């Protein structure tokens, strides 16, 4: 597996508790789940947070996304079960912190194990919400890798698209195997060569696969890794605007390809 970007391993998250989320929490498939949005929708976004868990910026992003057309239902499971990476461990500027992070990626955040957990969670969510026919998996930083892995080959039943947002383990070899519509939003801190390889792979396979033809790659050249997740700088106007812009772009991409399946809320 590819290594996380340098920015992912050095950039401190935003330590804020200023946001009161608008959604609700319930248990789905054994995981505490944050849910927000249109319960009449036939499309849901399964949101996979970054390693810092259910942080205020990530919950704010889910709430904002739910308000935008096509108004999907959004589910964000607490995959770390209340034990995410502590904000205080970033940046990992001591050997002790570095050891903790390595252990975390080998344990609770192990991508292969998480993929299997998400598959099981998705099955439980589909039982809970049988009216939903289409699922999109959207992942932030570490979660972006999980979204990519779940998009390769034969995705889980019902998954019709996926999104990577400033991914931490961006790997060009994944792109060649992604066979569903995929949106990649990169920051200035992701490897530009790998981002370009993603775009080239999508362009190549778009000629023979109409699903891949819906894939898009965009780079926010003035934004840091994590600008839409726990590392969002919401107290600064420029960064808040780009935070909103990123979520709008996700909504517009989803709306363009899947709006016909989603009844608007009354």
pLDDT of residue 7 exceeding 50, the answer is no
Sequence-separated (6 or more) residues with CB below 8 Å from residue 136: 43, 44, 45, 46, 72, 159, 160, 161, 162, 163, 254, 258
The mean per-residue pLDDT over the stretch 29-36 comes to 98
In whole angstroms, give the CA distance from residue 42 to residue 202. 27
Structure token digits, residue 232 = 């969002």
User: Of 23, 22, 50, 46, whose CA–CA distance to 34 is shortest?
Assistant: 23
CATH superfamily of domain region 6-257: Alpha/Beta hydrolase fold, catalytic domain (3.40.50.1820)
What pLDDT, in 10s, does the model give residues 51-79? 999 999 999 999 999 999 999 999 999 99
Residue (of 148, 154, 193, 156) closest to 175 by Cα position = 148
Q: What are the structural domain ranges in the chain?
A: 6-257
Q: Do residues 246 and 228 touch, judged by C-beta distance below 8 A?
A: yes
CB 195 within 8 A of CB 170: yes
pLDDT confidence of residue 247:
98
- Residues 6+ away with beta carbon under 8 Å from 166: 140, 141, 144, 185, 186, 187, 189, 190, 223, 225, 226, 227, 228, 229
91 pLDDT band, cuts 50/70/90, is: confident
Alpha carbon of 52 to those of 78, 101, 136, 226, 244: distances in Å?
A: 10, 11, 22, 11, 20
Please, what is the Cα angle at 144 between 206 and 265, to 5 degrees? 80
When pLDDT is cut at 50, 70 and 90, the band that residue 10 belongs to is: very low
């Amino acid at each position: 597996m590819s290594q996380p970007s340098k920015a992912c391993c050095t950039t401190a998250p935003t330590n804020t508790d200023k946001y009161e989320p608008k959604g609700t929490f319930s248990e789905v498939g054994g995981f505490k789940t944050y849910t927000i949005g249109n319960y009449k929708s036939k499309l849901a976004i399964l949101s996979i947070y970054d390693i810092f868990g259910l942080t205020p910026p990530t919950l704010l992003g889910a709430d904002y996304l739910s308000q935008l057309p096509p108004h999907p239902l959004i589910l964000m499971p607490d995959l770390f079960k209340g034990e995410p990476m502590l904000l205080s461990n970033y940046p990992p500027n001591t050997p002790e912190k570095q050891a903790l992070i390595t252990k975390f990626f080998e344990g609770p955040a192990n991508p292969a194990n998480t993929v299997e957990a998400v598959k099981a969670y998705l099955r439980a969510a589909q039982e809970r919400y049988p009216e939903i026919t289409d699922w999109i998996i959207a992942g932030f930083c570490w979660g972006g890798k999980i979204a990519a892995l779940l998009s390769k080959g034969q995705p889980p039943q019902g998954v019709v698209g996926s999104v990577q947002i400033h991914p931490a383990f961006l790997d060009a070899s994944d792109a060649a195997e992604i066979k569903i519509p995929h949106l990649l939003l990169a920051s200035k801190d992701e490897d530009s060569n790998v981002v370009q390889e993603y775009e080239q792979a999508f362009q190549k396979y778009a000629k023979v696969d109409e699903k891949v033809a819906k894939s898009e790659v965009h780079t926010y050249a003035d934004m840091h890794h994590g600008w839409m997740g726990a590392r969002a700088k919401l107290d600064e106007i420029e960064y808040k605007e780009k935070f909103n812009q990123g979520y709008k772009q996700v909504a517009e991409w989803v709306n363009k390809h899947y709006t016909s399946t989603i009844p608007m809320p009354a």
